[in-house]
Amino acid sequence: MRRTVRATVVAATAAMVVALLPQWGSATMASPTITKAASGADAACTLPTSTVAQRATATASYTASWNNIAAVSDGVTIYSGGGQTQLWGTYSATSRPAQQWLQYEWSSEGTFSGVTLSFWHDTASATAGDGVAVPASWRIQAWKEGAWADVSLAGGLSYTRDAGAPNAVTFASPVTTSKLRAVLNATTDGKTYGAVGVSEFAVTGEAPENPAKSIAPLTSDAFNVGISQSTGGVYYLSNPSDKTCTNYVENPSQHPKFDIADSRWVGDIGVYANGVAHTTGLSSGIRKVTAADGAVNVSYPGGAANKNGINGFALNESYKLTGADKDSLDWSITIDNTSTSSLDVSDLTVPMLMNSWWNGGDQTSIYEQSVARHSYVAADGSYVYWQRPNGVGPYLVMVPKDGTSLEFRDKARTGEGPFGESDPSWEGLVEFAIHSEHLQKARAELKALQ
């Protein structure tokens, strides 16, 4: 569908409703019955709060490509096994230095009283020259007067190296700095050095907030929704009564690979207008996230520095929990022509970057934390729903509201950028189009060349 509008006229208004349905009732019933979600003290899942470590930016001397440095501040501790994206690790077949480091840097100085490190290992040897071992020794350093300095510990304390429990230390006195790092000395067999791994690096004390990591929340007995103040993306979407607390959407902590400037988070919008592709991901300089009257609004007034950002028109998104029990999430998208020329909108696409990357070998993560998609695109009869592979609810359902319809589903194929299919772990980014004239033509042309 193509919709052409004149200056100052709303070009397109689209709206969808999202619901997190609780688990079906007894399977012996002739018809399924939806059970009521738990609330209040019975709720098992809440939006994450920002810890001291999460307010910092983590860097390291080296990170193996299959590991995830963001995992060290996610609050999840594992000591062996699990998924490789649940830890920071340094294994390399070619480079095995005697020492590695893991660092936090805050936007300004904070005051810290101690740290806790939880080590991950796949070998118990204290003289390992291969594999990932608990470090032979470690220490904490602080950035002071332009140089690193060892931090003194409280009397009688030492740096422990427990393989199956957190290793906590308290500083002799509070340390004021903008940077802390753990220096890890690797084990050795006298010939080569082993790698090191950390699943959690917690810090106690006071640290400045990091606006880039703050979220605007929407909560009810049926929904936990967290919208990034930095990117405008929906970073958290869960049901408070969900005992395994599955986050149905992706975010940078879960999958750093997707954290790029031209992002495709849930909440990003693609527009093809007047022959030019525009995305909200390339509009960071004009983006504004506000919360008022029980709604979160993400607005783009136009004039993005990037030519493929939001230019020549304004785009606004609104999220609000509705219904008597606030058990539906209304998501509205409005485009307004702010120019003096006609605005020809050929494509309006909604990427749904869900938590669907399956970590090979991590069965718990695949079946309890990942979600699988089912969809049917048929104009105003369209629907999309997601469920965990284990079949246990809640189930996330999205349908267009009156006046909005879906007309095309697109999927990023293998080799089509960072969001392309990666068999067998990732089906590729799926986008649903409210308007798709240009997109359908481009896909047809590509198919004809194959």
Please check whether residue 45 lies inside any domain of the structure.
Answer: no
The pLDDT assigned to 22 comes to: 53
Name the residue type at position 315.
Answer: L
- Whether 205 and 325 share a structural domain: no
Spatial contact of 134 and 122, defined as CB atoms under 8 Å apart: no
CA distance 176 to 165: 27
**Phi-psi region at 411: left, alpha or beta (left = phi > 0; alpha = psi -120 to 50):** beta
Task: With CA atoms as reference, report the closest residue to 11 among 23, 21, 3, 2.
Answer: 3
CB 206 within 8 A of CB 113: no
In this structure, are residues 313 and 307 in contact, taking their beta carbons and an 8 Å threshold?
no
**405 and 434 co-located in one domain:** yes
- Sheet with 295-300, edge to edge strand ranges: 288-292, 295-300, 313-322, 328-337, 10-21, 395-400, 383-387, 372-376
Q: What is the CATH number of the domain that holds 61?
A: 2.60.120.260
Q: Has residue 81 been placed in a domain?
A: yes
Share of the chain above pLDDT 90, in %: 75
Predicted confidence band of residue 333 (pLDDT cuts 50, 70, 90): very high
Residue in the block written with tokens 């990037």? 306
Whether residue 139 contacts residue 159, with contact meaning beta carbons closer than 8 Å, is answered with yes
**Do 265 and 388 have their domain in common?**
yes
Residues 241, 285 share a domain: yes
For the CA atoms of 300, 306, 308, 314, the dihedral, rounded to the nearest 10 degrees, stands at 20
Provide DSSP, 230-246.
Answer: TT--EEEEE-TT-TT--
- Lay out the sheet containing 234-238: strands in order across: 215-219, 224-228, 234-238
Residue 89 lies in a domain: yes
Query: For residue 83, is it within any domain?
Result: yes
Are 360 and 424 in contact by the 8 Å Cβ rule? The answer is: yes
Q: Residue 116, SS3?
A: strand
Reported as a single tens digit per residue, the pLDDT across 212-253 is 778 899 999 999 999 999 999 999 999 998 888 899 999 988
- Cβ-based neighbour number of residue 424 at 10 Å: 8
Q: Which of 155, 177, 209 is the last residue of a domain?
A: 209
Structural domain containing residue 408: 3-40+213-449
**How many folded domains does the chain comprise?**
2
Residue pLDDT, tens place only, 187-216 = 999 999 999 999 999 999 999 988 777 889
pLDDT of residue 7: 30
CA nearest neighbour of 216 among 326, 287, 292, 291? 291
- Give the Å distances, CA to CA, from 379 to 25, 365, 401: 31, 34, 11
Q: Using DSSP bridges, classify how beta strands 372-376 and 343-352 pair: parallel, antiparallel or unpaired.
A: unpaired
In terms of Cα–Cα distance, which of 170, 84, 182 is closest to 142?
Answer: 182
Q: Which of 188, 209, 230 is where one domain is finished?
A: 209
pLDDT tens, residue by residue, 164-190: 999 999 999 999 999 999 999 999 999
164 and 126 fall within a common domain? yes
Task: Work out whether strand 395-400 and strand 10-21 pair parallel, antiparallel, or are unpaired.
Answer: antiparallel
Tell me whether residue 318 is in a domain. yes
Q: What are the structure tokens assigned to 15, written together?
A: 């709206």
pLDDT at 2: 39
Q: What is the spatial distance between Cα 251 and Cα 212, in angstroms, rounded to a whole number?
A: 13
The whole-number pLDDT of residue 21 equals: 60
Q: Residue 144's pLDDT band (boundaries 50, 70, 90)?
A: very high
- Quick check: 9 pLDDT over 80? no
| Residues 330, 264 share a domain | yes
Domain-ending residue, one of 156, 178, 209: 209
* Residues recorded for the chain: 450
Query: Mean pLDDT in the chain?
Result: 88
| Diameter over CA atoms, the chain | 75
**CA atoms of 89 and 83, how far apart (whole Å):** 12
Q: Same domain for 227 and 201?
A: no
204 and 223 together in one domain? no
CB 236 within 8 A of CB 222: no
Radius of gyration of the chain (CA): 24
> Does residue 289 lie in a domain region?
yes
Say whether both 168 and 281 belong to one domain: no
Per residue in 355-408, pLDDT (tens digit) is: 999 876 678 888 888 999 999 999 999 999 999 999 998 899 999 998 899 999
Q: Which of 274, 407, 413, 286 is nearest to 349 (CA)?
A: 407
Q: Which position has the higher pLDDT, 360 or 262? A: 262
Q: Name the residue type at position 319.
A: Y
pLDDT value of position 47: 86
Per-residue pLDDT, 14: 64
**CA distance readout (Å), 346 to 4, 68, 277, 336, 424:** 9, 39, 10, 15, 33
Q: Residue 17 pLDDT more than 70? A: no
In a domain, 100, yes or no: yes
69 with 16, same domain: the answer is no
Contact 200, 117 (CB under 8 A): yes
Neighbour count for residue 26 (Cβ, 10 Å): 8
d(CA 199, CA 181): 15
Residues 427, 275: Cα–Cα separation, whole Å: 29
Are both 178 and 304 inside the same structural domain? no
Are 22 and 118 contained in the same domain?
no
- Confirm whether 61 is domain-assigned: yes
